Amino acid sequence: MTGTIGTLLILICLLQIKHMFADFYLQTPRMLSGRGGYWHVGRAQHAGVHVLGSIVAFGLIGAPVLFILAVVAAEWLLHFHIDYWKGQHCDRKALDPSKPAFWRATGADQAMHQLTYVTMVWAWVEWAV
């Protein structure tokens, strides 16, 4: 295995661990309530927690600072809007965890976040390696 592939796998693992903590352990009540409105400070803070974790992940593998700043700015925008879509969708359809459609929306939300990470890792390989 080449060094780049090993680092790529480590980066994927770091982003997965970051995602688990940011999405499932570090959300506050403010981040979780009222997510259907566009200007939601809690959602902005939540996306910021993701950004901080990504800064750590990319920093640990030695990515260039300007690359990190660019990729996490894009991540913040995407994360904010993916979560906005889920909040809007769940509010509009009156979805809660007791309804199967809530879990489909959660699955779509999580898949979009994972595809964001694939794109971020691709960008690292393309522009930072």
Expressed as residue numbers, the domain containing 113 is 3-128
Q: How many domains does the chain have?
A: 1
Q: How far apart are CA 63 and CA 44, in angstroms?
A: 25
> Is the Cβ–Cβ distance between 68 and 58 less than 8 Å?
yes
Residue 3 has which token pair?
Answer: 């060094």
This prediction's pTM: 0.95
pLDDT tens column, 79-127: 999 999 999 999 999 999 999 999 999 999 999 999 999 999 999 999 9
